[in-house]
Structure 1
Amino acid sequence: MDNTLISSDNTWALWSFLTGWAAISIYLEQKYKWASKISGAIIALIGAMVLANLNVIPLESSVYDAVWNYVVPLAIPLLLFQANIKKIWQESGRMLIIFLLSSIGTVAGTIISFMLLKDVIPHLDKIGAMMAGSYTGGGVNFAAMAAKFEAPSDLVSATVVADNMMMATFFFVLMAIPTFSFFRDKFKTPHIDDVESGVTGDESETQAASFWKGKEISLKDIAISVASAFALVTVSFNLADFFASILPAGEDVNITFQVLGGIIGDRYLMLTTLTVLAVSLFPRQFESIKGTQEIGTFLIYLFFVVIGVPASIAIVVTTSPLLLVFVLIIVLMNVLVSLVLGKLFKFNLEETLLASNANMGGPTTAAAMAIAKGWHKLIVPILLVGTLGYIIGNYIGTGLGFWFQNLM
């Protein structure tokens, strides 16, 4: 059935491609300045998109499902092991405010886009719910809203395609904005200034290479970090499933139970909560583990490769051009509102762009941007704040979805 060079059931070949292309993306980012500017994450995504459209790799495979189901959950605690919330509250508190302000742009953009296109795109109430959730916290919310509103599978696939293409363009734009003097003149840029003033020694070294310099790591570090990640995922997912099974569900259920189910019955929210709680209770133990960021980041690079795969350019051009228009309006409104409110409330450019990124793509893409740009002090805060989008996005998506249903 496959018309691709690598078939969907060629498991080892696909895993070789995922890990190999992720490794190449990281190598390019750390070796060449042009690659560092656009980030290895974007290289991973674009490369997968191109190869999928050239029929080198399949659009669907159980290997990709494994990345979503196992690799991404393991990456989340690994990336949060150094996140002692007590230490970074003041710094992340500012980030939380601009993140919430940025989410206003998502809500406004979704409403405007829905009103303009509801008569020409079928099931736009369901699409609106999915994209409002996704563009407030990331892909986790997209999946949750798609399941909640029982969107048709072909509709979900078409929306994913449009979303992935738009995100690739969006990340390029966000990466490019700090290079324009217009924005540098309008905003304070302390983190960019630190990066530019701190370049010493070998100027051929990229910021990514500087951040990911080799460091001491032992077998014990690898064992403890991986085992802890597995344990946290296991406990979190089973606990969330337990609460989801005992809490009443349905539209006629009391709002208190709906809110409670959305918080403690969600696997990813439970995972984030338990990880941050564990790190807060045992800060010395977790901070002493070396290599967690490196392992977690490599796993996230596999995720970046996978999300680029479904972006079939032919499908978008022939069957869902209006969906591109729909998501484009939301993205433009988010960026516009983020920049305007960021300027109004005196946030710096780096915080504003990362907040917009965390809204649209989730905490991982925002952290990848901070890493690529060398904004080291903002990596953990945007990871923490971005995970709050998992909660906020579900509520925003649900509220807008039910409202849109009444307007169709």
Structure 2
Amino acid sequence: MATLVSSQNTWMLMTIMCGAVAVSIYLEQKYTWASRISGAVIALVMALVLVNTGIIPTSAPLYDDVVWGYAVPLAIPLLLLQANLQKIWRETGRLLFIFLIGSVGTVCGAVLGTWLLGPFVPGLPKVAAMMTGSYIGGGVNFTALADAFKAGGTLVSSATVADNLNMAVYFLVLLAIAGNAFFRRVYTHPHIDAVLQNGVSEEGKTLAAAYWGRKDISLKDIAIDLAYAVIVVTISKLIAAGLAGIIPKGNWFLDMCNTFFGSQYVWITVISMVYATFFAKKAATMHGAQEVGTYFIYLFFFVIGVPASIMEILRNAPLLFVFCFLMVVINMAFCFIGGKLFHFDLEDIILASNANIGGPTTAAGMAISQGWTRLVGPSMLVGTFGYVIGTYLGIIVGSLLGA
């Protein structure tokens, strides 16, 4: 479909993308309603609107080569500087437990959805494998599983469109649940209570503005942060490429090992968390890393909304949207029912489900936007754990379903 801005007009697309992110951050820090929604979701919705009104294309080199190729990998080590395992482990026990319950729900949703819709959607077992990885881990797992099961470009594209539109709706539903009186009656919610008692900051700022207040950041800090991130990504890519070349393929187990250990994101996460854990004092002095990493993630959120063409969904992937929707609903059912049975707080349940479906960045972003600051680190950590197990579980599901 022809768009007002072509996919090759990189500078204009970058202007729109960076402008949308700037507006999203401004609104988040200026208005309470926007802070509640979060700037990340606002950026995603703006991209969705721009795509479906024919202003920007659903795919472009800027999205894949710049954002996916550079911004996302660099964001992970910067954001994981706070992931000190020794410090956070005590706080993640409950969140990790409900996250694993949600992961079981994701697997059940994939199996049930394939059983119900498999006869009507060619290649659905491959989609089930990809979405299992994505809805336990994230985009890296989706990509790895698409390659592992040799999913065709059309199938991958249709699944991506269905997934992104589904995600946009899902985030809004989670935010609505956090503010819903019924859910607040059924579940305990100490973090929400604390926010309501404290309100906005003393200066009248929104929660986001208070959290992202001005900090002591120097040119040296930015130089060290970016150098660190680039070094981590470079080493990770070298390790992943080396292991991918060493580990043979031939059966599902070897293919799984090759895919897992050959993923740069696995090693980016491992190296980042090792550094944050064993060099905690040095990591604490790297000012500005969270700000730079979060900005990159806002660009990522914009790009997430780009493939969500509603017309393309209606033409090519209506049943795939239903399939993804079913997986999300069952994940949420497991999280909320399991959370009630084991007496989890509403905030834990929401963030665990978010970490499943959206990944660590969306979960941390929601925790920040809602003012649940004590849950930012744990939600990031359990979401990152999803990266570790997502590909493994996706390959198991795909293999069982005949992908």
| 1:202-254 deviation digits (Å, cap 9, x = unpaired) | 574211111111111111111111110011000111111111111112316xx
2:82 and 2:283 in contact (8 A); partners too = yes
2:163 is matched with which residue? 163
What secondary structure, in the 3-state scheme, does the structure 1 residue paired with 2:59 have?
coil
1:45 is matched with which residue? 44
1:134 aligns with 2:131: no
* Cα 1:90–1:262 shift into 2, 3 Å: farther
In structure 1, C-alpha distance between the alignment counterparts of 2:201 and 2:113, rounded to whole Å:
50
1:358 aligns with 2:355: yes
* Cα 1:251–1:317 shift into 2, 3 Å: same
In structure 2, C-alpha distance between the alignment counterparts of 1:105 and 1:200, rounded to whole Å:
36
What secondary structure, in the 3-state scheme, does the structure 2 residue paired with 1:330 have?
helix
In structure 1, C-alpha distance between the alignment counterparts of 2:179 and 2:271, rounded to whole Å:
39
| 1:331-379 deviation digits (Å, cap 9, x = unpaired) | 1111111000011111111111111001101111111111111111111
TM-score by length of 1: 0.95
1:387 aligns with 2:384: yes
Higher mean alpha-carbon deviation, 152-161 vs 5-14, is at 5-14
In structure 2, C-alpha distance between the alignment counterparts of 1:13 and 1:345, rounded to whole Å:
51
What secondary structure, in the 3-state scheme, does the structure 1 residue paired with 2:136 have?
helix
In structure 2, C-alpha distance between the alignment counterparts of 1:201 and 1:390, rounded to whole Å:
35
In structure 2, C-alpha distance between the alignment counterparts of 1:318 and 1:6, rounded to whole Å:
23
* Cα 1:259–1:9 shift into 2, 3 Å: closer
What secondary structure, in the 3-state scheme, does the structure 2 residue paired with 1:136 have?
coil
1:100 aligns with 2:100: yes
1:262 and 1:391 in contact (8 A); partners too = no
1:268 is matched with which residue? 265
2:211 is matched with which residue? 211
2:291 is matched with which residue? 294
Which consecutive aligned stretches of 4+ in structure 1 deviate over 2 angstroms post-superposition? 199-205, 257-265
2:148 and 2:255 in contact (8 A); partners too = no
Q: Which runs of 5+ in 1 are unaligned?
A: none
1:73 and 1:268 in contact (8 A); partners too = yes
In structure 1, C-alpha distance between the alignment counterparts of 2:364 and 2:200, rounded to whole Å:
24
1:187 is matched with which residue? 187
Give percent identity, aligned residues only. Answer: 50
Q: Report deviation, 1:277.
A: 0.5
In structure 2, C-alpha distance between the alignment counterparts of 1:175 and 1:300, rounded to whole Å:
19
1:112 aligns with 2:109: no
In structure 2, C-alpha distance between the alignment counterparts of 1:89 and 1:322, rounded to whole Å:
40
Q: Report deviation, 1:262.
A: 4.6
Q: Report deviation, 1:199.
A: 2.2
Q: Report deviation, 1:322.
A: 1.0
Give the partner amino acid of 2:123: H
Give the partner amino acid of 2:146: A
Q: Report deviation, 1:260.
A: 4.6
1:79 is matched with which residue? 79
1:57 is matched with which residue? 56
Q: Report deviation, 1:132.
A: 1.1
Give the partner amino acid of 2:48: M
Higher mean alpha-carbon deviation, 176-185 vs 227-236, is at 176-185
What secondary structure, in the 3-state scheme, does the structure 2 residue paired with 1:119 have?
helix
What secondary structure, in the 3-state scheme, does the structure 1 residue paired with 2:116 have?
helix
Q: Report deviation, 1:45.
A: 0.7
2:314 pairs with 317, 320, 344, which one? Answer: 317
Give the partner amino acid of 2:358: G
Give the partner amino acid of 1:303: F
* Cα 1:379–1:201 shift into 2, 3 Å: closer
Q: Report deviation, 1:261.
A: 3.6
Q: How does 1:198-277 map to 2 (within 5 A)?
A: 198-199=198-199, 202=202, 204-251=204-251, 255=253, 260-277=257-274
In structure 2, C-alpha distance between the alignment counterparts of 1:262 and 1:237, rounded to whole Å:
13
2:2 is matched with which residue? 3
1:332 aligns with 2:358: no
Q: Report deviation, 1:145.
A: 1.0
In structure 2, C-alpha distance between the alignment counterparts of 1:265 and 1:313, rounded to whole Å:
34
In structure 1, C-alpha distance between the alignment counterparts of 2:82 and 2:360, rounded to whole Å:
15
| 1:306-345 deviation digits (Å, cap 9, x = unpaired) | 1111111111112221111111111111111100001111
1:173 is matched with which residue? 173
2:302 is matched with which residue? 305
Give the partner amino acid of 2:81: F
Higher mean alpha-carbon deviation, 258-267 vs 362-371, is at 258-267
In structure 1, C-alpha distance between the alignment counterparts of 2:241 and 2:382, rounded to whole Å:
24
TM-score by length of 2: 0.96
In structure 1, C-alpha distance between the alignment counterparts of 2:283 and 2:47, rounded to whole Å:
34
1:263 and 1:270 in contact (8 A); partners too = no
In structure 2, C-alpha distance between the alignment counterparts of 1:118 and 1:200, rounded to whole Å:
49
In structure 2, C-alpha distance between the alignment counterparts of 1:373 and 1:200, rounded to whole Å:
11
Q: Report deviation, 1:174.
A: 0.6
In structure 1, C-alpha distance between the alignment counterparts of 2:401 and 2:359, rounded to whole Å:
24
In structure 1, C-alpha distance between the alignment counterparts of 2:373 and 2:200, rounded to whole Å:
17
Q: Which runs of 5+ in 2 are unaligned?
A: none
1:79 and 1:292 in contact (8 A); partners too = yes
2:113 and 2:326 in contact (8 A); partners too = yes
In structure 2, C-alpha distance between the alignment counterparts of 1:126 and 1:241, rounded to whole Å:
24
In structure 2, C-alpha distance between the alignment counterparts of 1:379 and 1:115, rounded to whole Å:
37
Aligned residues: 402
